[in-house]
A and B are shown apart, each in its own frame.
Chain A
């Protein structure tokens, strides 16, 4: 009889402690464990928009579907993204915060989203991109437009043929070169618990490592077990809007970014449409009342608490001066540049400006500056103690919506933690995954193999706008160029680029 606390023997085709504890694996080790091995030159996992645009790029560079596998738990590349945009109040019909020429379905960004809308008769959008940002707010595409066009491209490049369902557990270097990417397929889908993909190249595109909830929010939930009244805006929180619809209430909004803007819009839209009497208190940690920056040449707009910027970085990080500047920077200098252009901000949009100025004038939108000290439950209400610039304040609210959207440390993601612990990956000057200019994960080379990463995990590298549509495409281009230099995929010179664009324009499957 076995001891009840002894670990169960590894199931057929599963990992063991010995394997997990070994940095570099041999083919024999996997055979011993009965883990089936699948050979494919290029593996991308995560399976979100990062994997999608990278695969798109490689397919356009002539890489066959048989040479790529996308390991993912997602049904579609935009599934996670759409979940997050929907709960944070950007459903398909609303507009994203993204440039007209940032098209995940089209590596050329031509025709841009605005041009496509213009060609369908909406000439206002064409006018908008002509006169923005001086005489109009930046054009941004509707979320649904981005998803529908990605879906068409997904079928055009035969993406579904490359998808393997499952969750990636880890990537390990292989003795002799290349890597093993261990996949846990859905239960019952395969005869073994794990499958290993043996590849020369691996692309890590796992998205946000996780959402970090602020301590006060977590403390409140632990103490009260109330998950409905105090929410993070990236969680489903429709119940808050329903509660305010059922009876007049006071809501506390926290944060000065795009999500706060969008949540305020939803609250005020509901207020106007349903004639509600919702009172809004908006808590800023940092109140920006005027243009700010480090000098006359670096001055960002700001007013009424908000720092204003069209996109989540100054626009030239995606191709111009700032992209070039950061690309040349190292260490503390790079960290300084990130700090200089960072900080929470939101775009100026006329409808938001109108709503908030009306709220200020009519007294139902009020602003506070400070930080939450603690939150407690008193009956149906949440009592919030704030250390404000006017001294300690106490208020009762029907709901608190935290729009601060902090991201967790990369170590919170199991695969990224494994890369740090076992595969030689390190951190960049802002603490995320350290990548080269080519988006190769520094320190992880294995023989002739390379690991690449793109997306949020790589923020702080030689290219700043990583966690955006265009940023993912820029990373994809760097990766495709680097792969071409190693003999994988064709060069995307003017001839191939033009002929491939023409195929795109005709919707011809490749």
Chain B
């Protein structure tokens, strides 16, 4: 991908809000959360919210790293492997009780939800996104 900082942030927020929410809505009932459906949704949407908010900060870091690349591009694989540090940070926040309104979140439920959501966002950003938004890839990932 060839993002600008503004484009990175816009793409991240829009994809997590639209694709992430839809997927979270669908997948949450089948996650092994061990709690009721209401508490499950509260937990998974909290994960989504934290990933989105922290993601904006992560994008600043990625943008900084991108400056060291001659091409000023962001290789496709980077968009996949950044799942690891981001996922770990979010997990530590939840497991460490830093998100007070979420009681407990079993590890497997988190992993399944986080990884599948990330994969949807990654796959859509690397192709189908261009179908409705034909200007998007030429505008550094900006939508507005």
- Give the B-binding residues of A (Cβ under 8 A): 101, 107-112, 115, 129-135, 293, 296-301, 309-310, 314-316, 318-324, 474, 477, 492, 494-495, 497-498, 501
Selected contact of A107 from candidates B67, B73, B80, B134, CB within 8 Å: B134
Closest to B8 in A: A320
Separation of A318 and B134 alpha carbons in the complex (Å):
14
Q: Is the CB of A112 within 8 A of B132?
A: no
Q: Which residues of A contact B131 (CB under 8 A)?
A: 108, 110, 497-498, 501
Q: Is the CB of B138 within 8 A of A474?
A: yes
Q: Is the CB of B133 within 8 A of A324?
A: no
Separation of A309 and B73 alpha carbons in the complex (Å):
12
Between-chain CB contacts (< 8 Å), 18 pairs:
A101-B130, A109-B130, A133-B71, A133-B75, A314-B72, A316-B73, A318-B138, A319-B137, A319-B140, A320-B3, A321-B66, A321-B72, A323-B138, A323-B140, A477-B138, A495-B132, A497-B132, A498-B131
Q: Which residues of A contact B134 (CB under 8 A)?
A: 107-108, 477, 492, 497
Q: Is the CB of B4 within 8 A of A324?
A: yes
Counting CB contacts under 8 A, is B76 at the interface? yes
Q: Is the CB of A131 within 8 A of B77?
A: yes
Q: Which residues of B contact A300 (CB under 8 A)?
A: 70
Q: Which of B131, B135, B139 has the most CB of A within 10 A?
A: B131
Q: Which of B71, B134, B137 has the most CB of A within 10 A?
A: B134
Q: Is the CB of A319 within 8 A of B138?
A: yes
* Closest CB pairs A-B (n = 8): A320-B2, A494-B132, A316-B72, A319-B2, A315-B71, A321-B72, A315-B73, A110-B127
Decide: A130 near B76, CB < 8 A? Known: A298-B70, A300-B70, A320-B2.
yes
Q: Which of A110, A129, A318, A319 has the most CB of B within 10 A?
A: A319
Separation of A311 and B76 alpha carbons in the complex (Å):
16
Q: Is the CB of A110 within 8 A of B128?
A: yes
Decide: A320 near B77, CB < 8 A? Known: A314-B71, A498-B131, A501-B131.
no
Counting CB contacts under 8 A, is B92 at the interface? no
Q: Which residues of B contact A318 (CB under 8 A)?
A: 2, 138
Contact flags B5-46 to A (C-beta < 8 A → 1, else 0) = 001000000000000000000000000000000000000000
Closest to A322 in B: B72
**Overall SS of chain B's interface:** loop
Q: Is the CB of A498 within 8 A of B127?
A: no
Q: Which of chain B's residues 54-69 have a Cβ closer than 8 Å to chain A?
A: 66-68
Nearest CB on A from B37, distance (A): 33
Separation of A5 and B34 alpha carbons in the complex (Å):
101
Q: Is the CB of B77 within 8 A of A111?
A: no
Separation of A107 and B133 alpha carbons in the complex (Å):
11
Q: Which of A115, A132, A315 has the most CB of B within 10 A?
A: A315
Q: Which residues of A contact B135 (CB under 8 A)?
A: 477, 492
Separation of A293 and B68 alpha carbons in the complex (Å):
12
Decide: A320 near B4, CB < 8 A? Known: A130-B77, A133-B75.
yes
Separation of A316 and B7 alpha carbons in the complex (Å):
13
Separation of A301 and B138 alpha carbons in the complex (Å):
25
Selected contact of A132 from candidates B3, B76, B128, B138, CB within 8 Å: B76
Q: Is the CB of B137 within 8 A of A109?
A: yes
Separation of A296 and B64 alpha carbons in the complex (Å):
13
Q: Which residues of B contact A135 (CB under 8 A)?
A: 77
Q: Is the CB of B76 within 8 A of A129?
A: yes
Selected contact of B127 from candidates A107, A112, A309, CB within 8 Å: A112
Closest to B137 in A: A319
Selected contact of B77 from candidates A108, A109, A134, A322, CB within 8 Å: A134
Decide: A320 near B130, CB < 8 A? Known: A130-B77, A132-B76, A297-B67.
no
Q: Is the CB of A314 within 8 A of B70?
A: yes
Separation of A316 and B134 alpha carbons in the complex (Å):
17
Selected contact of B130 from candidates A108, A131, A309, A321, CB within 8 Å: A108
Q: Which residues of B contact A110 (CB under 8 A)?
A: 127-128, 130-131
Q: Is the CB of A134 within 8 A of B75?
A: yes
Q: Which of chain B's residues 72-91 have a Cβ closer than 8 Å to chain A?
A: 72-73, 75-77, 80
